[in-house]
Amino acid sequence: MHRPQLDKYDQRILQYLQQDGRISNQELAERIGLSPAACWRRVKALEEAGVIRGFVALVDPVQVGQPLNVLVMVTLQRHSIDNTTEFESRMREYPEVLQCYATTGQADFILRVVIQDMPAYDRFLNEKIFTLKGIAQVNSNFALREIKNETAMPLG
């Protein structure tokens, strides 16, 4: 995979956009010392290269009724292509699964699930996870409080 070379302007663009994705092109250009046209071209090039994957609003889970944050470790019985493919496909479909990682170590997958409450999590497990073929073990860890939750990638 080709990784684009990021110069100091690209890195500064990324830093500012990670702090405020709604910054105007004019203000961004002024902050990094480029013309608005040059700045716009660089942002578009970063998007086209896949460096910038998109722009989003960060929503407070408590404010939208999803305060329970669960880290779920899932172990499969066997590592067959069918089991793994089905599991990964289903995880992409479930809106309460915000992240899903294939991992090394004790678990085959680690999920981050946000959900309303314990009864809703119990339904999620029973109706969505435990119905999948090949599940050997599921361990749930509930976040007590958030210490750090950043979205900005460290650069340079």
The pLDDT > 90 percentage for the chain reads 92
Secondary structure (DSSP) of 19-49:
H-TT--HHHHHHHHT--HHHHHHHHHHHHHT
pLDDT of residue 138: 98
Question: What average pLDDT does the structure give for the chain?
Answer: 95
The pLDDT value recorded for residue 1 is: 67
Grouping H, G, I as helix, E, B as strand and the rest as coil, residue 95 is coil
> In the chain, at which residue ranges do the beta strands (DSSP E only) sit?
68-76, 97-102, 109-115, 135-142
What token pair was written down for 147? 């210490």
pLDDT at 54 over 70: yes
- Taking residues 109-127, report their average pLDDT: 98
Fold of 8-48: Arc Repressor Mutant, subunit A (1.10.10)
Domain boundaries of the chain, sorted by first residue: 8-48, 68-142
Class of domain 68-142: alpha beta
Question: Does residue 2 carry a pLDDT above 80?
Answer: no
Inter-residue contact 114 to 61 (CB < 8 Å): yes
